[in-house]
Structure 1
Amino acid sequence: MKNIHNYKYLEQRRKELRKSLTSAEATLWKHLQKKQLGGRKFRRQHSIENFIVDFYCPKEKLIIELDGAYHFDFAQQNYDLERTNRLERLGFKLIRFENKLVFENLEFVLKEICSHFKNL
């Protein structure tokens, strides 16, 4: 199987996105980095095929996406659905949270992420 991770042509865009995390992404990243959550390594702004995902856990093949108001647009929702379907067909599990949930109930978000780990 050919490599579908971190295509070179997306490298600069991934770097830009890592430098300009949303406040919700930065907050969640503080709890995901350095194997703090269930001993799992997470990557931020990781690309799979032509998609750049917010967070990715290679061990679990788990993708975490945070959605702001931008994602409530009808066209964006259709794109997100197609993107999710493609990533799931490739064998990844994708979970989404609204940005505001990270601030309003971070404990729930972290527990929900852990619930997708195969073994804790």
Structure 2
Amino acid sequence: MKRKLIPYNKNLKQLARNLRNDSTLGEVLLWKELRNKRIYGFDFHRQKPLLNYIVDFYCYELGLIVEIDGRYHSHEEQYKLDIVRETELAAYNLTILRFTEIEVRKDMTNVLRAIENYAVEHTNNPNL
């Protein structure tokens, strides 16, 4: 499958590397489940720069971004910024699935089920 080229701010590369080394527990736990193509063979990347943002997890084959929201996402100002971010990313036909840090830590089964369901619904592979 040919990759969709999504531009990114090259100044974010080092910050993305730093974030990979300073992940939250939820990010570490979810990465263990997503890495090495464990979800139906799809390749996920973590702390991926896209446009002027760094997304937690990205699968180019599905056009899927998975975000883990921490405490600061409950603030109204952050919520407004998230809407702007989602709108800009949606212009590239990207979908964002959001989970809270608590959901990932305490209910991984349903988090993975939601990601798997998205994969099944958005691919033409009858073997999924």
Please give the TM-score of this superposition, normalised by the length of structure 2. Answer: 0.87
Check whether the contact 1:33–1:42 (CA below 8 A) recurs between aligned residues: yes
- Structure 2 counterpart of 1:10, one-letter code: L
The 3-state SS of whatever aligns with 2:118 is coil
The 3-state SS of whatever aligns with 1:41 is coil
Check whether the contact 1:54–1:65 (CA below 8 A) recurs between aligned residues: yes
Please give the TM-score of this superposition, normalised by the length of structure 1. Answer: 0.93
The 3-state SS of whatever aligns with 1:115 is helix
Identity of aligned residues (%): 36
CA positional deviation for 1:8:
2.2
- Structure 2 counterpart of 1:27, one-letter code: L
The 3-state SS of whatever aligns with 1:39 is coil
The list of structure 1 runs, each at least 4 consecutive aligned residues, that deviate by more than 4 angstroms after superposition, is none
Alignment RMSD: 1.5
Check whether the contact 1:63–1:93 (CA below 8 A) recurs between aligned residues: yes
The 3-state SS of whatever aligns with 2:41 is coil
2:17 maps to: 15
Check whether the contact 2:6–2:92 (CA below 8 A) recurs between aligned residues: no
CA positional deviation for 1:56:
0.1
- Structure 2: any 5+ residue segments left out of the alignment? none
Check whether the contact 1:6–1:46 (CA below 8 A) recurs between aligned residues: no
- Structure 1: any 5+ residue segments left out of the alignment? none
Alignment of 1:1-120 (within 5 A): 3-117=5-119, 118=123, 119=125, 120=128
- Structure 1 counterpart of 2:6, one-letter code: I
- Structure 2 counterpart of 1:87, one-letter code: L
- Structure 1 counterpart of 2:38, one-letter code: Q
CA distance in 2, matches of 1:22, 1:111: 21
